[in-house]
Amino acid sequence: TDVLEDTIKKLLKNNTTPKFIYVVPTFQNPAGVVMPESRRKQLIDIANEYDLVIVEDDPYGKLRYDISHIKPIKAFDDEGRVIYMSTFSKILSPGFRLAWTVSSGELTRKMIICKQALDLCTNTFTQYIATEFTRRGSLDLHIMKICEMYKPKRDIMMNAMKKHFPSNHICYKPKGGMFAWVTLPEGIDTEIMFLDAIKEKVAYVHGKAFHVDGGGARSMRLNFSYASNDQIEEGMKRLANVIKHKLEKREVVL
């Protein structure tokens, strides 16, 4: 929050007024980290002080494995500054492309106007399906089943990394969500390495894709939600071999 506030001050000093603060505070993509409650409250204080809107994007918040309920930033919003957004695409069906928001009356009215200008109305049939699924209480049960399926996948990926990856790799174990963020030893460029990984039928998103300043060369985002348990185990072995080969080539060059 100190960096954020310093950035806001610099922008205002240059006569540039920020429009809003965008944040994914729960199981953030790509790192999978969770913003602590104290920092969420600080974010509200900053928004109040500088008269800003917070856009809280929460697509992964229901996918919890090792953590209890997390209060959204919206829960601490007393001035109607937070636009809370979530989606059914991660907890019901990816093809639905159906989401929802919680915001103050004025913000909601403006968003409705913007929505009408874009496509008038989201598919009514999918809205009815989601409404009925939720009304019957089936959504909570479905989310529980998803979490029961995803958690072992995450654990298999974490254990495979510990077993096969270089000992000096860095990976935060996500307590929820769908992603693992890995940082490899010096000398690895995951964007260049991607082509070698693809030859082994393993894919990831290289770290540079998540940095506006060209950083993240040694990092990559892995997804454990789609592949089967066996595919995750085998995929991690193959990826580890690619990494090992790259490190060996680096040592030869050195």
Domains in the chain, CATH or no CATH each:
2-136 (3.40.640.10), 142-253 (3.90.1150.10)
Q: Which pLDDT band holds residue 82 (cuts at 50, 70, 90)?
A: very high
With beta carbons less than 8 A apart as the criterion, state whether 59 and 27 touch: no
Q: Please determine, for residue 74, whether its predicted confidence score (pLDDT) is greater than 90.
A: yes
pLDDT of residue 105: 87
Mean pLDDT across the stretch 77-82? 95
With beta carbons less than 8 A apart as the criterion, state whether 101 and 83 touch: yes
Mean pLDDT across the stretch 114-137? 91
Query: How far is the C-alpha of 45 from the C-alpha of 163, rounded, in Å?
Result: 44
**Which alpha helices (H) appear in the chain, and where do they start and end?**
2-13, 37-50, 105-118, 124-135, 138-164, 190-199, 229-253
- The reported pTM is 0.91
* pLDDT tens figures, 89-105: 999 988 888 999 999 98
Distances (CA, A) of 20 to 102, 107, 136, 178: 16, 12, 36, 26
Q: Is 120 left (phi over 0), alpha (psi -120 to 50) or beta?
A: left
pLDDT of residue 251: 58
Per-residue burial over 84-99, b if 16 or more Cβ lie within 10 Å, else e, is bbbbbebbbeeebebe
State the amino acid at position 67 in one-letter form: I
With beta carbons less than 8 A apart as the criterion, state whether 76 and 44 touch: yes
Q: Please determine, for residue 51, whether its predicted confidence score (pLDDT) is greater than 90.
A: yes
Among 57, 63, 143, 142, which residue's Cα sits nearest to residue 102? 57
Q: Please determine, for residue 146, whether its predicted confidence score (pLDDT) is greater than 70.
A: yes
Mean pLDDT across the stretch 165-178? 95
